Structure 1
Amino acid sequence: MLKIEHLKKNYDTFSLDCSLELRPGYVTGLIGQNGAGKSTTFKAVLGLIAIDGGTITILGKDIREFTAKDREKLGVVLSDSGFSGYLRIKDLIPILENLYEKFDKTFFVEQAERFRLPPDKQIKDFSTGMKAKLKLLAAISHDAKLLILDEPTAGLDVIARDELLELLREFMEQDEERSVLISSHISGDLESLCDDLYMIQDGKIVLHEDTDVLLSEYALLKVDEEQYEKLDKQYILRVKKETYGYSCLTNQKQFYIENFPKIAIEKGTVDEVISLMVRGNEE
């Protein structure tokens, strides 16, 4: 669905060198700190910025050969873009009908009603949650095969996020050949939605893992100085000095449960993995 190989983009103070692959039927998350390279990657994939090297293949086609017709198969939500605030939903419908041959007006109207989006109200008067729902609804209303979503749940309350994620799940259930690439700062969204996760740091991919493996096999080892000295460190990914000793990230939880029964072992979460990968040191 999407394959990026050594995508390069150089700025004065930042360089991107990113490789990742999105498989059919998968929801793939791209995680990392602000400034790590997530938005730069998204914009490069969409052809919004020129790249300095590497290849991007979308739906089996090199991005340089991608046509306007091909782009109809994409659904896009960017964190820093949206519709003109002076438009109303009823103004958007003819625009979307002209943009997309497969735009489903009936579905769009039904979902707008479902999520209580007023058709006669200017978008500038919508709440943050209403604007987010509208952007996602527009992205999924034309039978897109690939969704590219940059921080679609940013700034939303719990209810609005749940409604947005429900809409995404329904979108994926309707066609198992569809795929989604999504970035988000909210780990709960990623844990419940994504099949696999890529972590980007300083412009490079530093981790790729299936979400269920990350949640079941990754763990934090909390050890004091003496325990740390005796610890078998062959499966330690990152180490961070703490007041009590050390916090260690591993992807082999069972090994330490069986061989070091006296140390404290906590189940890893996406947030903790991000924190240790960024702030910890390699062993």
Structure 2
Amino acid sequence: MLVEMEHVKKHYKGFELDCSLNVEEGRVTGLIGPNGAGKSTAFKSILGLIGIDGGSAVVLGKQAEQLSTEEREQIGVVLSDSGFSGYLTVNDIIPVLNNLYRRFDRDHFLRMCEEFNIPRSKKLKEFSTGMKAKLQVISAMCHGARLLILDEPTAGLDVIARDELLDLLRGYMEEGDRSILISSHISSDLEGLCDDLYMIVDGRITFHEDTDVLLDQYGILKLTEEQYDKIDKEYILARKKEGFGISCLTAHKQFYMENYRDIVIEKGSIDKVITMMIRGEA
């Protein structure tokens, strides 16, 4: 297990984090939730960038604050509020990375910059949003990191730039001893990349599931009031009042397909699960 968070607590005025999650070796884990839910706070707790008020954050087998410099080099990080100065060029960044990381692979870094059309002599302030995002991810994975922690790396990117960045991450995962913990508001990114998903709402994990299970077994039942009164509610996770009647979230779509052939059942998706879990009634 590369990351183990056990009831990590952090108190701010008007907000309290109480988060538990695991990131297994060889897997991509997604953290989803609305703005202000605690995703960035959870990431900073894992990295030891903020002090925690309770619980335990273990990274690479150690408490975050006990990691040595060499062990920290096994982690690549992209945070939403961080980045290089806009007055630097890629050529300026190379010696910085070389001094920061003993295992910095200059040749690999330059190959990836060339492959993803990152200019070497242009100032970063002249880069597009997509070019800046790709450079940050390339920098995070160019020093032999076993774990990537990425906070909203696709935010603000167009479809092409997002696809290129996701290709970067898939290439990184081709070696099986690596892992990624990523947050994103764009569900299609997570559906195509993540092995499992956690949902955080108001600082607490409210949902955890393998992505394949969510996409295959979850569904949304579209019911009239009369249909809702008659169905077996044992496998209903949440319900929401709609103009036509009631929507229900279930993790046993097949049960309702086989036993209630007259009701409308939509395939589950990350967006639909988020909506039902946050806006629906348990």
Q: Which band: TM-score by shorter chain?
A: over 0.9
**What SS does structure 1 have at the residue aligned with 2:51?**
coil
Describe the superposition over 1:18-74 as per-residue Cα deviations: whole angstroms up to 9, x where unpaired.
000000000000000001110110111111111100101111111121122211000
Across the aligned residues of Structure 1 and Structure 2, the Cα RMSD in angstroms comes to: 0.7
Counterpart residue identity of residue 34, structure 2: Q
Give the whole-Å Cα distance in 2 for the aligned partners of 1:227 and 1:78.
47
Q: CA deviation at 1:143?
A: 0.7
Counterpart residue identity of residue 49, structure 1: I
Give the paired residue count: 281
Matched with 2:200 is: 200
Matched with 2:70 is: 69
Matched with 1:87 is: 88
Alignment of 1:1-283 (within 5 A): 1-173=2-174, 175-282=175-282
Q: CA deviation at 1:258?
A: 1.0
**What SS does structure 2 have at the residue aligned with 1:234?**
coil
Give the whole-Å Cα distance in 2 for the aligned partners of 1:132 and 1:64.
28
Residue range with higher mean Cα deviation, 62-71 or 88-97:
62-71
Counterpart residue identity of residue 209, structure 2: E
Residue range with higher mean Cα deviation, 223-232 or 111-120:
111-120
Give the whole-Å Cα distance in 2 for the aligned partners of 1:54 and 1:153.
30
**What SS does structure 2 have at the residue aligned with 1:29?**
strand
* Gap runs ≥5 in structure 2: none
Q: Which runs of 4+ in 1 moved over 4 A?
A: none
* Gap runs ≥5 in structure 1: none
Q: CA deviation at 1:115?
A: 1.4
Counterpart residue identity of residue 13, structure 1: G
Q: CA deviation at 1:152?
A: 0.4
Give the whole-Å Cα distance in 2 for the aligned partners of 1:95 and 1:56.
29
**What SS does structure 2 have at the residue aligned with 1:266?**
strand
Give the whole-Å Cα distance in 2 for the aligned partners of 1:47 and 1:86.
29
Q: CA deviation at 1:201?
A: 0.8
Give the whole-Å Cα distance in 2 for the aligned partners of 1:151 and 1:157.
14
Name the TM-score, length of structure 2 as normaliser.
Answer: 0.99
**Percent identity of paired positions between Structure 1 and Structure 2:** 62
Name the TM-score, length of structure 1 as normaliser.
Answer: 0.98
**What SS does structure 2 have at the residue aligned with 1:121?**
coil
